[in-house]
Every structure is written in C-alpha cells, then in structure tokens.
C-alpha cells in the first residue's frame, strides 16, 4: 500500500521550498533555487503542510528559532542519530562535522556522519546547514549559496 504524498510550494528568501507530507506529518523539504510548478493532484493541502509553511514564514521573519512540526524522518539508525543531534544545534550556532561525529558517539566516522547529514530529508527545520567543515563551509544539498544565505540569515559568519 502506498501512502499519498502531498506537496506545497512556498517561496522564501533563500528560494522555493517544496514541502512534502503524507497527510499527518512532514516527510520532506526539497530545496529549489528557481521557481517550479508543483501541485498536489487537486487534493486539499493537509494542515501539517500549511502549518509547516507558516512556521517557515515565521522563521524567515525572525519570529521563530525552533520548529514545532510533526515530522517523520525515514533513514538508517546512523541517519536517525545524526538527524536527532542536528535538531539540538541552536539557532545562530554551528558545529563541525567532526564535532557532530563526536556527539553521536562516532568520533572516527566524520565522513559517514557527514553523508548522513547530507541525506537529511527535512533541511532548515532539521538544521543541517549549521554543520560546517573544520576548514570552511562544507557542502549543502541546496547548494553553497543557499547554505551561506542561511548562515548569514542566522548571523553566523563563515569564511569560505
């Protein structure tokens, strides 16, 4: 049995975000640097997606620093550990991939932890942009320009 996936596109200062939900929970945010037409098959948009869009508007208006959206993040055990730790990084702070690896109890696995970080299905809400390389900014699924914009928005200066 397949679960229907609903989508809602919302424009933000860092580009268009496409919110995905299964009707009850947020299951993904796709980052898009250019506008795209996204529909939801004529079905009503579930309240969870409307609420997620509203909370993102509040975030970009600097009225919200913590999200309260029902979510489901499907992944491996390591990914789940990494994503849970990402949610503990406060607004305006960054940590390195090495520090993230230490926090999840895998101090010698920075690369695997970085890959799990990059597979985060709900960026911004689960703030993977707050993880940076020890020698610069690191990567980001939405592109480096978007990561720099998010870090600048949260007033986190970064060199590279």
**Which comes out higher in pLDDT, residue 35 or 89?**
89
Closest of 139, 141, 95, 108 to residue 122, by C-alpha = 141
Alpha helix (H) ranges present in 19-106? Answer: 47-60, 77-86, 97-103
Alpha helix stretches (DSSP H) within 67-124: 77-86, 97-103, 110-118
How far is the CA of 41 from the CAs of 4, 45, 52, in angstroms? 10, 10, 19
Distance CA 48, CA 92 (A): 26
Domain-wise residue ranges, the chain: 6-60, 77-153
* pLDDT tens-digit series, residues 26-75: 999 998 755 444 454 445 889 999 999 999 999 999 999 999 999 999 99
CA distance 92 to 107: 24
Task: Looking at the structure, give the CATH architecture of the domain made up of residues 6-60.
Answer: 2-Layer Sandwich (3.30)
128 in catalytic set = yes
Instruction: Count the Cβ atoms, other than its own, within 10 Å of residue 132.
Output: 23
What pTM value is reported for the model?
Answer: 0.88
Both tokens of residue 79?
């990914």
Q: In whole angstroms, what is the distance from residue 126 CA to residue 93 CA?
A: 14
Distance of alpha carbon 125 from alpha carbon 69, whole angstroms: 9
pLDDT digits (tens, 9 = 90+) for 103-130: 999 999 999 999 999 999 999 999 999 9
39 or 144, greater pLDDT: 144
Among the listed residues 128, 131, 132, 146, the single catalytic one is 128
Kindly report the CATH class assigned to 77-153.
Answer: mainly alpha
């Amino acid at each position: 049995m397949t679960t229907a996936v609903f989508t809602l596109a919302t424009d933000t200062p860092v580009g268009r975000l496409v919110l995905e939900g299964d009707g009850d929970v947020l299951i993904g945010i796709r980052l898009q640097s250019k506008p795209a037409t996204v529909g939801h098959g004529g079905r009503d948009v579930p309240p969870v997606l409307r609420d997620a869009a509203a909370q993102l508007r509040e975030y970009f208006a600097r009225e919200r620093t913590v999200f309260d959206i029902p979510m489901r993040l499907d992944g491996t055990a390591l990914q789940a550990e990494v994503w849970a730790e990402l949610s503990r990084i406060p607004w305006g702070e960054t940590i390195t991939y090495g520090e993230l690896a230490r926090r999840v109890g895998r101090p010698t696995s920075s690369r695997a932890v970085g890959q799990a970080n990059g597979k985060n299905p709900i960026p911004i809400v689960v703030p993977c942009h707050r993880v940076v390389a020890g020698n610069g900014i690191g990567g980001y699924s939405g592109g480096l320009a978007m990561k720099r914009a998010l870090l600048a928005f949260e007033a986190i200066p970064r060199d590279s």
